[in-house]
A and B are shown apart, each in its own frame.
Chain A
Amino acid sequence: MAIAAPGQLNLHESPSWGSRSVDCFEKLEQIGEGTYGQVYMAREIKTGEIVALKKIRMDNEREGFPITAIREIKILKKLHHENVIKLKEIVTSPGPEKDEQGRPGKYLLRMRNGNKYKGGIYMVFEYMDHDLTGLADRPGMRFSVPQIKCYMRQLLTGLHYCHVNQVLHRDIKGSNLLIDNEGNLKLADFGLARSFSNDHNANLTNRVITLWYRPPELLLGTTKYGPAVDMWSVGCIFAELLHGKPIFPGKDEPEQLNKIFELCGAPDEVNWPGVSKIPWYNNLKPTRPMKRRLREVFRHFDRHALELLERMLTLDPSQRISAKDALDAEYFWTDPLPCDPKSLPKYESSHEFQTKKKRQQQRQHEETAKRQKLQHPQQHGRLPPIQQSGQAHAQMRPGPNQPPMHGSQAPVAAGPSHHYGKPRGPSGGPGRYPPSGNPGGGYTHQNRGGQGGGSGYSSGPYPPQGRGAPYGSSGMPGAAPRGGGGSGYGVGAPNYPQNGPYGGSNAGRGSNMMGGNRNQQYGWQQ
């Protein structure tokens, strides 16, 4: 190991033990912000490699190194799979506190002054361009059926691997599914994950999983559960991909449960033996009988998709399909088959942190525009997949090197929310939500505002350049149906018109394609 001169940083050699300094990386920009800490895109100085740095927040920790970080590190160090995010290393900051022998010198003094490791500890991850929610929320984005199958299969493969290795993810949701421009999907954010034993005897907390993706057994207060909790979340994501928007957007636990019962029927001892013994069942059980309406509501779904969804959104966790069985479902083995990840289009990456700023600017812009009455409000729902998949799919898959279809058009920026350290709801700590209050509300609104229900952010979908004209008037093929679809979706009716405005919009996604230009993807110096 080359020894740096005193007072100088040794940036170019990894120490033979311990962790490297964060100074080995050059922070490029912040791409996320959460209660957990900030997330940066960074470049390793020595190799030029782009990584994501997730800061572990140490202030405010009475119990030292956060147990959530311990769980995540422990779990990520034992999981090695192409569909699980890779933790490359852990680095600490900053370096200068150590003398050249690597002995803690001032370092300790600083800690004794109550400033312990204030510089921070960072987890270094491989960099991923998108997350599923962000990608799906791009204005005009529509996934093709083979693309959905491709993502779903990767999601299930990664999750099956976790479950085989006795790890529950416990926070499966779109923004934790990272996607790179090779079409690879990886599970990320294992901050709520933990190991389980097969006997399900351990008591686990039921305050996990983002509300919209939380299964009924957790909402009913069970503390003994297993991999089925993740499978419910997968079902929610699957339905969301097919439906075009979240299917259970509850504001609080009771409403969440109610939304589930409205679609999946009320649980009873017949369809879910043992349900009445779950702690809060008597307080939360539905007051009126409710029939399962899943098949009816989603009757327009492909038959095999609906079959699989039925088995994922099964109320009784013991009857819910496992990741392994889901991978064997007809859905993945009938035409159109899942596509090769590499064949998927490449999209410009963007990050929630920036997107939020841009949204604010857009809102201001929109205010101005409104005052000038130049603009009519427009909402962008997320678009369901193209139904006539065979033909559409061919068009949906430009080769990786194909130039952008609308090269002259500015990239659409209201895109992905990023993931690595997304906000964890209103409060910190291992539990996602404060014991009372409005779980999910703050978080989901922050992240998802402008999509679907389209609360206050009708300006979301606009590009940052602030073009005055809505897409409808841009004269692109497929643009008009997209606009129409957006407004159709904002209503929030559970039933979406099958042959609605999307019928002829095969070319609808062209405007988002960015081609395969790496420089464009990493357009950080904007």
Chain B
Amino acid sequence: MAANFWTSSHYKQLLDQEEVDVVHPLDKEKGITLAEFKLLKMHMANYIWKLATHVKVRQRVVATAVTYMRRVYTRKSLSEYDPRHVAPTCLYLAAKAEESTVQARLLVFYVKKMPTDEKFRFEIKDVLEMEMKILEAINYYLVVFHPYRSLSQLLQDAALNDISMTQLTWGLVNDTYRMDLILVHPPHLIALACIYIASVLRDKDTTSWFEELRVDMNVVKNISIEILDFYENHRINMEERLNVAMAKLGSTIHNLEILQLTPTSY
């Protein structure tokens, strides 16, 4: 992990759940509920993930991009910051910040290849314009610490670093970006929660290992519960609820392709 998380802007910028779970007044006016707000952000995360597979950037870039997007919407409204522009531009900016630059022209090319409605225009100037707005919205805090690095270290430490556990936990960590966890919790605790869930699923006894870690297991359990709740919630009527939320936003994002959520870990 580059630099020290505890002295980083990321650590100082950690928010309380209550601060993250605020629907911007402008979005509220349109009738967006908190649940819908979360759903829309999740949908954007999925979109970024999908776009990234075309653009071919490292997973770390995607994770950073999703984090930027979530940081933006702790301060800005969906109504003003068009998700169709924010999502790809976050990927553009994250690619720069993570030293895997993607040319704006290429990004636009791939955005156009994604399923979209015909009226949607997205050109290079839109990327550059939105980039400045995003930088300002996140107050130039570009550093993000991710759970991945602690995950591999922790798995090794727990002697759980076999392929099956690695894949399962890695997928769980990926899925945490569909939630706001990265804004609220230190990354190593997110990693621990994923290990915790995975060890329960795979029937591994990690009790003594967790005890020796001297971390607040209540926090780890809370994160785990949140992750499990998330999977539970999004099994039912996902698409339908997403459509409702999008309709409320007007035309803003209805053209984003609706992705069927398939939790990678189940």
Contact = CB atoms under 8 A, between A and B. Distances in A.
A77 B132 contact: no
Interface residues of B, number: 31
Contacts of B75: 17-18
A467 interface: no
A73 interface: yes
Contacts of A111: 129, 132
Contacts of A78: 2-3, 7-9, 143
A77 B103 contact: no
Interface stretch (B93-101, B172-180, B182-190, B192-200): B93-101
B249 interface: no
B120 interface: no
A80 interface: yes
Interface stretch (B38-46, B134-142, B216-224): B134-142
Given A77-B9, A166-B3, A65 B131 contact: yes
Nearest to B76: A17
B80 interface: yes
A63 B9 CA distance: 25
B97 to A, nearest CB: 6
Contacts of B92: 64
Interface in B104-146: 104, 125, 127-129, 131-133, 135-137, 139-143
- How many of chain A's residues touch chain B, expressed as a range? 20 to 34
B139 A18 contact: yes
A67 B96 contact: yes
Given A78-B3, A78-B8, A78-B9, A64 B128 contact: yes
Contact of A74 (B80, B97, B133, B139): B97
A92 interface: yes
A90 interface: yes
B2 A116 contact: no
A371 interface: no
B4 interface: yes
A108 B85 CA distance: 14
Nearest to A87: B140
A70 B142 CA distance: 8
Nearest to A81: B7
Nearest to A77: B9
Interface string A55-69: 000000011110100
A193 to B, nearest CB: 12
B94 to A, nearest CB: 10
A86 interface: no
A70 B95 CA distance: 11
Interface in B37-81: 75, 80
Contacts of B129: 108, 111-112, 116
6 contacts: A63-B101, A70-B142, A77-B142, A108-B129, A116-B125, A197-B2
Interface of B: 2-4, 7-9, 75, 80, 92-93, 96-97, 99, 101, 103-104, 125, 127-129, 131-133, 135-137, 139-143
The 5 lowest CB-CB distance pairs between A and B, nearest first, are A64-B128, A78-B3, A165-B3, A74-B142, A64-B131
Interface of A: 17-19, 62-65, 67, 70, 73-74, 77-80, 90, 92, 103-104, 108, 111-112, 116-117, 165-167, 194-195, 197
